[in-house]
Amino acid sequence: MIDLSSAVLVLTGAMAAGKSTVAQRLAERLPRAAHVRGDLFRRMIVSGCQEFTPEEADEAAAQLRLRYQLSAATADGYARAGFTAVVQDVILGPAWANYLDLVTARPRFAVVLVPRPEVIHRREQGRAKQGYGDWTVESLDSAVRDDTPRLGLWLDNSDQTPDETVDEILANLSEARLPD
């Protein structure tokens, strides 16, 4: 198996793709790991938070870029301290390549979860949190499949348990590894 110490593994996909659960389970399986939840950086804004919507207001886009910068810097900090940083966030479209460039730690790994839209709908109904707002499952699925650069390992985890998805990620780390 590839050595993941001092590495950053970034996990993305649409909301309800399984990112949080898979990232947590992956971090739990590693000997020394931190789970960096990108959405925490959005929630740290106490006043003046602008939600990112399909209209892409300038302030909302600036806050999203700040969130990405902070989570990448945090992941790098954990990696410098000898931890594997497992980052999970919704990072779609051209932002995917931009985010991966923000990560300075080496090695870097990237995983995109792409369950079928009907599976996301079903998962969304069973979630306590509702995160879509102005976004639809279909619009986010299109942003993943059509607009996101094909970097890293892409997994259709529609028919997998979270542990099976973690198994597949660990078995395919060479495909998930990004060039140094």
> Domain 8-176 is in which class?
alpha beta
Phi, psi for residue 79 in degrees, rounded to 5 = -65, -40
List strand residue ranges (DSSP E) for the chain, in order. 8-13, 33-37, 84-88, 108-113, 153-155
Average pLDDT over residues 147-158: 96
Each residue's pLDDT tens digit, 154-175: 999 999 999 999 999 999 999 9
3 state DSSP class of 9? strand
> pTM score, two decimals?
0.92
The pLDDT of residue 132 is 47
**Three-state secondary structure readout of 57-71:** CHHHHHHHHHHHHHH
Does residue 97 surpass a pLDDT of 60?
yes
Each residue's pLDDT tens digit, 32-42: 999 999 999 99
| Per-chain mean pLDDT for the chain | 91
* 11 and 35 Cβ atoms separated by less than 8 Å: no
The pLDDT of residue 94 is 94
* 76 and 103 Cβ atoms separated by less than 8 Å: yes
List strand residue ranges (DSSP E) for 64-160, in order. 84-88, 108-113, 153-155
Alpha-carbon separation of residue 92 from 14, 17, 27, 148, 167 (angstroms): 8, 13, 22, 6, 24
